[in-house]
Structure formats: structure tokens, C-alpha cells
Amino acid sequence: MILVLYGDYFMHGKIGLMLTAKASEDDLQCADQIVFTLEAIERGHLPDEMCTQEIGESFDVENAAQCQQVVRHLLDVASKGSIGRAVMGMRLLFDPRSAVLAPDSDVLELHPKLVQALQGAEQVKASGWVSLSAPGQIQPGDFLSFTVGGSPVCATARQVLFAGTDREEIVYNRQRNHYFITAMALDGSSSHKDVFVRSMAKAR
């Protein structure tokens, strides 16, 4: 994956999708206030925060003083956040290449692939398998599941060397000297990918 920085935006080299910095709470409030203001004047009245009377005031697009007042209000709101980040974030969510939202749905719901992945994760959790997350997690006798060269492998941890340290090695075939280093499996540099562990103690 390659990320190239352009100000607040990033180019995701793997899928060719422009990424943007996450909108902050100030950015979202900025977008909200701009929307509220535009919707108010579209209905023919000034937004509440611009009114000097308790019952509100009507908006006349032909009134130059009111128009100037509205523009100043919008500029003041815009200076407190970035509506661009909020809008760009939504555009990226809707981009089919991001695969975050269901492309054919009329409402905001997760992409079917994400739903399937979440369901699969729940099934794995229910079966007692957990993803490798840190040194010290695997004990001798624990069941292992991983892929090597794209091929799935199921094995048993025969020996744990340098347990709980950055040098931890998990030996699963002593005769053939087959093992992996936990730290490398975690950072993705190992040939052993997607390592899952099932505790022998919990399996009993």
C-alpha cells in the first residue's frame, strides 16, 4: 500500500482512491451550521442565531443588508471548521471502490462484504479461535491456524521459545524445524499469515 500526501488529502496507491483527513467535531458542527443556515433562508427566515427578536425574522433575498448579514454569518461559521473535510469524507464513503457502504441501498448500511466479514468473525469467536495479537498468547499444546504461501495450515504449538518477548518463536514441527516468529507474524513480514489460536485449556 502506498499513501501519497496532498495537504489534507492522501492518494491510496493500492486502489487509486483519494483519502482525506478525518473530519473533526468542529468540522461536523461547521457543516451542520451551514446546512441549518441555508435551509432556514430557503424557507424564508433567518436562522435562530441571527435573529434579534424572540419570534424570529423573515428573510428577503432582495434585502441587501440581510444578504450581507447572511454571508458574514456563513463566513464566520466556515472559519471555525472545514466543511470540505466533512463533505469529502462522505464522498469517499459513497465511492464504490471504498467498499464501506452497500452500493445498491437507498439507506446508509454496510457493504455486504463487511457484513459477511463481521459475521465470519463472530463465528470464529464463538468457536474459540482468536486472532494472534501479542507475544505470550500462545502456549505449548495450543491449536494454530494460519496460511503459508496462500495454503491453509492447521498445527499444534509444540514449543514456545523466548516466550513473551519480541524474540518469541512458535515451533509447530520440531523434526522439520517449522516455526514462526510472533513479532513478524504480527507486523506482516512473516510468511505465516492470518494466525489464529485456540487455547488447548479452553478446548477441554
Q: Give the three cell numbers for residue 110.
A: 454496510
Is the residue at 187 inside a domain? yes
Contact 174, 184 (CB under 8 A): no
* Cβ-based burial of 182 (10 A; exposed 0-12, middle 13-18, buried ≥19): buried
Q: Of 44, 77, 94, at which residue does a domain stop?
A: 94
Could you give the C-alpha distances from 176 to 20, 70, 190, in angstroms and in order? 48, 76, 18
Residue 119 is assigned to a structural domain of this protein: no
pLDDT in tens, 4-15: 444 454 444 444
> How many domains does the chain fold into?
2
In a domain, 26, yes or no: yes
Domain that holds residue 32: 3-94
10 and 81 inside one domain = yes
**Placement of cell 524445524 in the chain:** 177
Is residue 114 domain-resident? no
Domain boundary among 74, 94, 114: 94
The verdict on 90 and 22 lying in the same domain is: yes
Q: Are residues 84 and 13 in the same domain?
A: yes
- pLDDT single digits (tens) 91-144: 888 888 888 888 888 888 888 888 777 776 666 565 578 899 999 999 999 999
- Report the predicted TM-score, pTM, of the whole model to 2 decimal places: 0.49
